[in-house]
Amino acid sequence: MYNHSMTEFILFGLTEGPEKQKAIFGVFLILYLMTLIGNFLIMVTIKMSQTLGSPMYFFLFYLSFADTCFSTTTAPRLILDALIQKKLITYNECMTQVFAVHFFGCMDVLVLILMAYDRYVAICKPLQYITIMNQHICGILVILTWIGSGIHSSAQIFLALRLPFCGSNVIEHYFCDLQPLLKLACMDTYVINLLVVSNSGAICMVSFIVLLISYIVILYSLRNHSTEGRRKALSTCTSHFIVVVIFFGPCIFIYTRPPTTFPIDKMVSLFYTIGTPLLNPLIYTLRNAEVKNAMKKLWVDKV
């Protein structure tokens, strides 16, 4: 009989074996703390610095916020589960994690689109930039990212709540997501998987294509700029494009395919749930002179 009232699941985790679990605990604890510190420094620097008041840094603040929350949806449990032999997660906690992962993951996607749009207006329509990207418009765009993320994650949790479970309750992953949950469902999941692909998969693929086209247009328009203008614009856009590739590549691999799982899925998921939020602060600080100078002024010169 179908069990519509599953009370708990068991997360398989990344790997088995006490020694490997200890290594996972140490490595990912360090990575998570680095993620928190890096994104926290960016957010505080942007809020406190008078030189980082442009829309680009306004959106960067929310990207760092989304990265921090996105990493927090999976990393702490992964770290704590490394110390536990039986990795239990209640049904409600699992559904909450599904919602949170997709909410902050979608927010990451939408903020990256806003950042690309900001660069497009700044480079392709410089005379209208102040008018188009004023503070009021930027605030509305951020509110729309919250609404869009809520709609996307609500659709995901609606699909997850409809799944009946029976038999095994072992999730072959280190966090709850729709794909591993579909494997446990006692029903034909073809239609639901199609909905997942048309939702998460389409968002990833369409957003990536839109971002790719926007950067091609930006690069084409740079031919009319001065050498110094091209250098500065290329530096900023290159940073953005690196973030886009390392985030969307794994997401497209996971969410735009039939309901099959591969051994490499966990490593790919690690890259976009934990790796990308860690790399973003490094990319935006090491490749951005304005952010580095603002951080030096606020954090180094005061010490």
Mean pLDDT throughout 112-128? 88
The pLDDT tens digits of the residues spanning 50-68 come to: 888 889 899 999 999 999 9
Give the CATH number of the domain where residue 211 resides: 1.20.1070.10
Instruction: Evaluate if residue 200 carries a pLDDT over 90.
Output: no
pLDDT surpassing 50 at residue 1: no
Model pLDDT, residue 2: 44
Flag whether 275 is in a domain: yes
- Written as one string, the DSSP assignment of 161-221 is HT--B-S--EESSSS--HHHHHHHBSS--HHHHHHHIIIIIHHHHHHHHHHHHHHHHHHHH
Total domains in the chain come to 1
262-281 pLDDT, tens digit each: 778 888 888 889 988 998 88
Say yes or no to pLDDT of 301 above 70. Answer: no
Q: Is residue 98 part of a domain?
A: yes
On the question of pLDDT at 288 being above 90, the answer is no
Give the contacts of 190 (CB within 8 A, at least 6 positions apart): 259
Mean pLDDT score, 146-172: 90
Q: What are the b/e assignments for 101-117, b being 16+ CB within 10 Å?
A: bbbbbbbbbbbbbbbbb
Q: What is the pTM of this model?
A: 0.90
170: β partners: 10
Q: Would you say residue 291 lies in a domain?
A: yes
* Average predicted confidence (pLDDT) for the chain: 86
Whether pLDDT at 164 is above 90: no
Give a yes or no: residue 20 inside a domain.
yes
- The residue that leads in pLDDT, 302 or 289, is 289
Provide mean pLDDT across the span 22-42. 93
Residue 2 lies in a domain: no
Domain extent, residue 202, equals 8-300
Within-domain flag for 1: no
- In this prediction, residue 27 has a pLDDT band, given cuts at 50, 70 and 90, of very high
Bridge-partner residues for 8, per DSSP? 90
Q: pLDDT per residue over 84-118, tens digit each?
A: 888 899 999 999 999 999 999 999 999 999 988 99
